[in-house]
Amino acid sequence: MKICKKCQKEFDDNLTFCPFCNAENADKKLTYFERKQARDKDTQIILDKASIQNCDEEVAKEGSVASLDVLHVQNYKKAKLFSLIRLSASLLFAIACLVAAWIASSKDINANLKLAVILVAFLAIAVCASILISDIFAFLSLRKMSAEDFSLRKIYYSRGPLFRSKDDIYEIITNSECDECKSKMHLELKDDTLFLVCNVNRSHIYKIEKDAYVAYLKDKLSKKDNWVIISRGEKWNF
Ligand SMILES: [Zn+2]
Ligand SMILES: [Zn+2]
């Protein structure tokens, strides 16, 4: 562990900038480019830490399937249809913007107005492209789900892993507390293993193997009567 020269807090040896106060903690004076490189390296280290690494897997304790809950998300076919509609809508909008830019450039109008229209059109296309990429990813993930029962997929960053069972899609969540510090936990997925990770301290980590959660989910879904599936209803948009 390193100790920050400015705020005296402890942080990762491999980082150059303090994650608490952003102060530079290099051994020597850095040039502009060295500083930029150090920033990029720090960002990569922080990103790596935010996903499950092999070292996390090794320290993970055995988690209990009873800490898992399931939310009913949507009918599978509907989800796929909505996803396709969204995808087509963003594609059509991007094409419309392109056409608008092309018309503006070929028309004999005020030069400033022409520039403004083209600029706005290209901005809109850039936004559309990023939406389109996530829409395509969601659509392909949904298609893959059709081939596999109980195969967890992470489609949206802010959502838990999703799985399909028969005609419906469900989200796996957890409401359980960390055994060590009583903080809330969240779920992460690596390969087919599910991890319960403490929101406060990432070293408080528990794993649930695929065999265990598949058996649990199959059993629960087969006995719908004693199984409360919370419907998320309209809040969900595919
Ligand atoms: Zn600091
Ligand atoms: Zn904890």
Give the pLDDT confidence of 151-183 residue by residue, as tens digits. 888 887 667 888 888 888 888 888 889 988 888
Ligand nearest to the backbone CA of 61: 2
Checking if the pLDDT of 227 tops 60, the result is: no
User: Does residue 128 surpass a pLDDT of 80?
Assistant: yes
Selected residue with higher pLDDT from 147 and 165: 165
What pLDDT is stored for residue 237 in this prediction?
41
When pLDDT is cut at 50, 70 and 90, the band that residue 224 belongs to is low
Is the pLDDT reported for residue 232 higher than 80? no
**In this predicted structure, what is the pLDDT of residue 231?**
52
pTM, whole model, 2 decimals?
0.66
Write down the mean pLDDT value for the chain.
84
In this structure, which ligand is nearest to the CA of 177? Answer: 2
**pLDDT tops 90 at residue 92:** yes
130 alpha carbon – ligand 2 mean position (Å): 35
Residue 182 CA to ligand 1 centre (angstroms): 27
For residue 2, which ligand has an atom nearest its CA?
A: 1
Q: Would the pLDDT of 234 be above 50? A: no
- In the predicted model, what is the mean pLDDT of residues 199-209? 87
Q: What is the pLDDT of residue 195?
A: 93
What average pLDDT does this structure show over 208-218? 90
The CA 220 to ligand 2 mean position distance, Å, reads 28
For ligand 1, the distance from its centroid to the CA atom of residue 68, given in whole angstroms, is 37
Band (pLDDT 50/70/90 cuts) for residue 123 is very high
Per-residue pLDDT at 235: 43
Whole-number pLDDT of residue 110: 86
Q: Percentage of residues in the chain with pLDDT exceeding 70?
A: 92
3-state secondary structure the chain: CEECCCCCCEECCCCCECCCCCCECCCCCCCHHHHHHHHHHHHHHHHHHCCCCHHHHHHCEECCHHHEEEEEEEEHHHHHHHHHHHHHHHHHHHHHHHHHHHHHHHCCCCHHHHHHHHHHHHHHHHHHHHHHHHHHHHHHHHHHHCCCCCCCECCCCCCCCEEEECCEEEEEEECCECCCCCCEEEEEEECCEEEEEECCCCCCEEEECHHHHHHHHHHHHHCHHHCCCEECHHHCCC
Report the separation in Å between the CA atom of 48 and the middle of ligand 2, taken as the mean of its atom positions.
20
Higher pLDDT pick, 199 / 5: 5
